[in-house]
Every structure is written in structure tokens, then in C-alpha cells.
Amino acid sequence: MGLVLDRVRREVGAETYIHETSLRLKPGTMTVLLGATLSGKTSLMRLMAGLDRPSAGRILVDDGTSETDVTGLAVRERSVAMVYQQFINYPNLTVFENIASPLRVKGLPRAEIESKVRAMARLMQLESFLERMPLNLSGGQQQRTAMARALIKGADLVLLDEPLANLDYKLREELREELPKIVRGSKATVVYATTEPQEALLLGDFTATLWQGRVTQHGRSAEVYRRPLDLTTARIFSDPPLNLLPVTKRAAEILLPGGAIGPATGPLGGLADGAYQLGFRAHQLTLHRPAGPGLAFNGTVTVAEITGSESFVHVEAAGSRWVALVPGVQELEPGAAVTVHVDPAGVFVFDPDGGLAHAPAFLSAA
């Protein structure tokens, strides 16, 4: 079943946790709630689950033919499964019985329960731990048990609140690959909360970006990433942080910080005169001059983070702190002088109010 949030709002005392929000989530898809800690992701999920009641608005389920208002329905009366970042298991039950518990509540035959539990245990790499008690497991194993129990339930709505945060890197990558397959094979509406833009692109059919209790944009994940509606959304969907450069357009020139003047080339040439913010992600800032016209800045290295096949080079340039993602091992010492380059064709342009004035043409298609 699908889920519809119709102008819901959540207030506690004088504080607004969730500003007025309307979303329509489709069954058989995964929607990622992307935002920083305390942006409202968990608060929104609690409204979806029925753990909290909205101060205003309605929550409905859509079975494809009609919509049913479930705003006042208790969570136990809804078909919901939820996994938190901090795992929750039954301490007096084995791993097998933890995973099997939703199926026993349904009254499924023993053989079917056995088959389903072992299949889920294989997916979660828990086969050798089925007879253990939760307290004899590592934190990652306990989290996988909690996820297995939620996924095996077959609920119409599955809510995953940063469920991979406590897992080791290898298993996290494996589950990132498997989770979308599970979703596509079910009719559930799956909502996944994360602080990581990479997870949104890897997992989400759709992404809703959140900032201070507001959904700033909702759409296909790739489209939200490629064409954010405003500066706030672009910042949410950029890791490392979005590089910013304040400029002023004047006729055929761009006035840069410190009094430097550059040509208003490419998309900058078509802008009306005025103040703007240029935004460019780390991979759009290079240490090598682009083939065509570009903007060059002298900078100073603050730190170089080597990840193996590439490096994050942090620089101070044009009165700002930027991060460049460049290929190869860059052994640059702090204080080293570098020249960084930006291709104007690859930058976002935001107006003084933070609205998107221009998106790179080669990024605008979904």
C-alpha cells in the first residue's frame, strides 16, 4: 500500500518539529529521507508509523483504488515495521526466534517459518548465529537481527531509521546492494533515513531532503541531486560540503572576491546583472586546467586526505574553504601553494534568496 501525508505538521509546545508537509509515497519503492542530524527525519517517520499524532493534517494509506485515513489509528493496528539505528531485539529469544516472531504471530506453518527465517538469515549473514541469544552477538549482528525481523514481517510500511550506521564497512556495502532488491520484490512502501548523500543515490528511488523540519525537495533521487531547487537542498545533497563562491555579474564580467575580474563565460553570460552564489561539488574543482575556458584560483592546501584511488584536497582560496576530489594519490603538505580550476559550465548558480538560477546543462536530465 502507498502512504500519503496530507499537510501534516508536528508541534510540541512552542517548538515545531515538522512544518507543513505533503508527500505521496508509492508501494514497491524506497524513499530516502536525507538530512543532517536533528533535521526532522525521525520525527517524520514517527508520524508515518503512528507513534506520534500530527498536530494538523492527515495520514492516509492508498490501496490503489481508495485512500483510508489512518491518522488516529494506533501503531499496533497498522501494518508497520520499523528499525532504529539502535537495535531492539527480544533478549530472551534466540536469533531464530527473534526473526521468526512476526511469522508466529501470523500463525504460519512451522515448515514455512523455517524456510523463510533461514532465507532471511542467509541474506543477513546470520546463518551461523541462529541459536545464539542477542546478548552473545556483536552490535552489528544484533542490528542485522532486528532488520531481518522487520523485513520478514511483510508489513505494508517499512521504516528504516539509519539502520546501517553501526555496521562494518563491508557488510554495509553488501546490504546497500541487497536492500533495493528486497524492496522491488515486495509491495511494501519503504522509507529509509540517512545523513549520507551517497546512500540516497545508491538506495533511493525517491529522495526527500530535510532541513530544520522542512522537506525542501522531493523527487527522483538522481533528479534532486542533479537539479536541486535551492541552495539548501544542494548543500544537503553534497558530501563533501558544497563549495561556494560569491560573485557579482556586471555586463560581460564576473567580479570575484578580493577584486579580481573574470569573464562571464558559458551560463554566466546569460545571467542578469547582480549578486549570485556559485556552487560546485568537490569533483568539479580540479588541480588541472580544463580544456575550455575556466576560472582559476591560487590557493593554499590545508590538508590532503588520501583514500587510495583518489584524494580529497582541502584548500583555502578566494577567501573560502573548498574541497577538491582529485584522482590518484596527492601527497600535498599543508601550506603548499596550488592553483585550482573550476569549469563555469559545471557550476550551479543561486540567486541572492538561495533559489536555483542555473543548473549545469549536462546535469539537468534525469
- 3 grid coordinates: 502512504
State how far the Cα of 121 lies from the Cα of 273, in Å rounded to an integer. Answer: 61
State how far the Cα of 31 lies from the Cα of 216, in Å rounded to an integer. Answer: 14
- 305 grid coordinates: 586526505
Q: Nearest 5 degrees, angle CA 216-CA 221-CA 226?
A: 80
Q: CA-CA-CA-CA torsion for 28, 34, 37, 38, nearest 10 degrees?
A: -80
Q: pTM for the complete prediction? A: 0.88
- Show Cβ contacts of residue 157 under 8 Å, excluding neighbours closer than 6 positions: 1, 3, 48, 49, 61, 78, 79, 80, 81, 188, 189, 190, 191
For the chain, how long is the longest CA-to-CA vector? 77
Beta bridge partners of residue 15, listed in sequence order: 12
Distances from the Cα of 33 to the Cα of 62, 250, 284, 319, angstroms: 20, 39, 25, 33
Which one-letter amino acid corresponds to residue 335? G
How long, in residues, is the chain? 366
- Show Cβ contacts of residue 170 under 8 Å, excluding neighbours closer than 6 positions: none
Pairing relationship of beta strands 30-34 and 206-211 according to DSSP bridges: parallel
pLDDT at residue 118, as a whole number: 95
Which domains does the chain carry? Answer: 2-236 (3.40.50.300), 243-363 (2.40.50.140)
State how far the Cα of 306 lies from the Cα of 330, in Å rounded to an integer. Answer: 7
pLDDT at residue 292, as a whole number: 67
Q: How many beta carbons lie within 10 A of that of residue 330, not counting itself?
A: 18
State how far the Cα of 41 lies from the Cα of 215, in Å rounded to an integer. Answer: 10
Per-residue pLDDT of the chain (366 residues; tens, 9 = 90+): 899 999 999 999 999 999 999 999 998 899 999 999 999 999 999 999 999 999 999 999 988 788 999 998 988 888 998 888 777 899 999 999 999 999 999 999 999 999 999 999 988 889 999 999 999 988 878 888 988 898 898 889 999 998 888 778 887 888 788 778 777 767 889 999 999 999 999 998 999 999 999 999 999 999 999 999 999 999 999 999 999 999 999 998 889 887 888 888 777 888 899 999 999 999 999 888 776 667 889 999 999 998 878 999 999 998 899 999 988 888 889 999 999 998 888 899 999 999 999 888 654 333
Which one-letter amino acid corresponds to residue 61? V
Count of H helices and E strands in the chain? 8, 21
pLDDT at residue 361, as a whole number: 67
Q: CA-CA-CA-CA torsion for 229, 234, 236, 240, nearest 10 degrees?
A: 170
State how far the Cα of 16 lies from the Cα of 44, in Å rounded to an integer. Answer: 12
